[in-house]
């Protein structure tokens, strides 16, 4: 047993550290995804949002569970997007 640890001990430590690091990163990623999903599902009319494509607009309609309608630009163009395309909510 001592010979095994002497020859493979360093490799085992590196492997344990890598597994721990992967576990911690996946937990952080899941938490971030859950926060984003909650933000996308709790949007209200009048909220300002940033879309994945870079468009910034004000939410006009949230009636549909899968899509939202935003108003963007000086001429108040209305655009329909899937909720998953919302990158974030902009606080004004």
Give 4-55 pLDDT, tens digit per residue.
667 777 888 889 999 999 988 889 889 999 999 999 989 999 999 999 999 9
Q: What pLDDT is recorded for position 4?
A: 67
- DSSP H or E segment with residue 49: strand 48-51
Identify whether residues 1 and 30 lie together within a single domain. yes
Number of domains in the chain: 2
Provide mean pLDDT across the span 67-92. 91
Domain range holding 7?
1-42
Identify whether residues 19 and 58 lie together within a single domain. no
The overall pTM is greater than 0.75: no
- Taking the CB of residue 88, how many other CB atoms lie within 10 A of it? 13
Contact 19, 56 (CB under 8 A): no
- Torsions phi, psi of 40, nearest 5? -65, -35
Identify whether residues 71 and 57 lie together within a single domain. yes
Identify whether residues 37 and 52 lie together within a single domain. no
Query: For a pLDDT cut of 90, what percent of the chain falls above it?
Result: 59
């Amino acid at each position: 047993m001592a010979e095994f640890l002497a020859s493979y001990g360093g490799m085992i430590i590196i492997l344990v550290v890598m597994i721990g690091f992967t576990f911690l990163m996946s937990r952080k990623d899941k938490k971030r995804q859950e926060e984003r999903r909650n933000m996308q599902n709790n949007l209200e009319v009048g909220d300002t949002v940033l879309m994945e494509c870079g468009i910034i607009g004000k939410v006009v309609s949230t009636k549909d569970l899968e899509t939202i309608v935003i108003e963007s630009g000086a001429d108040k163009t209305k655009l329909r997007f899937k909720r998953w395309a919302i990158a974030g909510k902009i606080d004004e």
